Chain A
Amino acid sequence: MSTFDFIINNYRQVIYLIGEHVWIVSLALALATLIGVPLGMVITRHKALAARVINAANILMTIPSIALFGLMLPVLSLVGHGLGKVPAVTALVLYSQLPIIRNTYTAIQNVPPAVVDAGKGMGMSRWELLREVQIPISIPVILAGLRTAAVMSIGIAAIAAYIGAGGLGVLIQQGIDRVHQEMILSGALLVSVLALVVDGGMALIERLVTPRGIKIQQPRPK
């Protein structure tokens, strides 16, 4: 297939672009997690705040990605980073907030109250409860949120090529510009494969990290 040939012939550039793409997404995901997970945990204590925060994140995600890039351009231009990787990563971090915060919040909320009660009754402090009981039980769901965020970010990062962030979207962009079929297909193919691989990989990690006791509990539909 000529698309394959194209990739192989330009492997250096392709690898570089993959690297760029992965870098952007990983950085964004890391930042988003650092912000989102603690935030998700904090709002389990304050229900009123929880509704507002999740609402805000929801609104953020409603904004179409290209529009968000566009909206950030003038704003970030003021600090000299209207284009390039900075707005891309920023947008990705903002986008990833909803799945991460919501999943963290829901996961901790869904820890059976009986379990929390037992822990409290045994004399666990709030932090011990969080660390020993609530977080381990919540990990699968939190990871699921990260997975959603990751896959989403890979897709949006492709669009970020249009604001100069680099990554595999460049192949698609230039391919469309130059009407180069193989280039477009390579870009589309590579970014799809990347998304699928990451999705599958994280699904595997989810399964590995789920404490065995929880896995057994998973309800099987009749």
Chain B
Amino acid sequence: MITYEAVTKVFGEGPDAVIAIDRVSFTIARGQVVIFLGPSGCGKTTLLRLTNRLDSLSRGNIYINSQNIRDLNPVKLRQSIGYVIQEVGLFPNKTIFDNIAVVPKLLGWNKEKIRKRVDELMHLTRLEPDLYRRRYPAELSGGQQQRVGVARALAADPEILLMDEPFGAIDPINREQIQNEFLNLQAKMKKTIAFVSHDIHEALKMGDKIALFNQGRLIQYDTPEVILTRPKNKFVANFVGADRALKVLGLLHVRDIMNCSPSNIVDAAQTAPEVLKMLEQKNLRYAIVLAQGKPVGYVTSQDLKYEQGLCQEVARPYPLCLEQGTSVHEALSHMLMHDLTTFCVINDQGDLVGTVTYKSIQKSLQDFFADDAEAQ
């Protein structure tokens, strides 16, 4: 969808010339979120701005939908691409409604269409239209302003979005929330997005693919998994961080690695001696106790030894159960916190759907890095 072909950008002339971008070539496929990642000054923002011709190429070509952008009218091009910057740049002299409506107005949409679209976008970005339509940017918080910025970029329903550290100026708590909201949005909209960031965590979270730059050169362009498990060189390895194994865990969800049919389940109504016998027979060290399909706790042989009543009575409760979407990273954190090697995974109704163990986490990581070893 967006193809960069030997793109080069030089600022200045002669001995003082700065090569901001050096023969960068790669392609962003339709519907993908690609993170332009790298340290300050690596050229990621410049590359973004070349894409909508806010800056001009020195050499090379950029194609959007197989059209060379040099052949397109720059103003029209930009009207067909959504653009979000870190400072947001909301026009303080316009209401929220007018801000969002800028590009549709430029494109000549009729009033009714614009009104509907603005309301739709405000709902999508969780800004109550009746409340905020007439307000001015100065009356909104930073997070709200950023949401308006995103809505404004989406107003004309462009296929492509260019985003330059859009969530950088927001405090970490709100940033996580707005990132999640954006991911939800993208799941629905499937836009083609180039997203500049300097934060590896944001890149891993938001990107379908990561383009890592350094000093104007494209160093590696791969999915987050590959970048973490197969960094091309020392720079990449250092940039992603020495804890990259743990970061890989952040990419996995418990539903990906859980055991869906664990064999060590007992019902709360069973008696202690029954369960004890089962444990000995199956050579298990503990069993998970379920009541109506919902976990209530676990029992070990030790707990059951001299008991006669229902196993439920001696069951040790789980401090918590994990939802299916929980990252494995978080699951591991809980295991360490509560000194438990097994956790139950439940669905929305609270029924057990699987278990995660420390061993299963270890195994999945091994698989990752083993794939990697095999591939090499």
Whether the complex brings A and B within 8 Å at their CB atoms is answered no
Chain A residues in the interface with B (C-beta under 8 A):
none
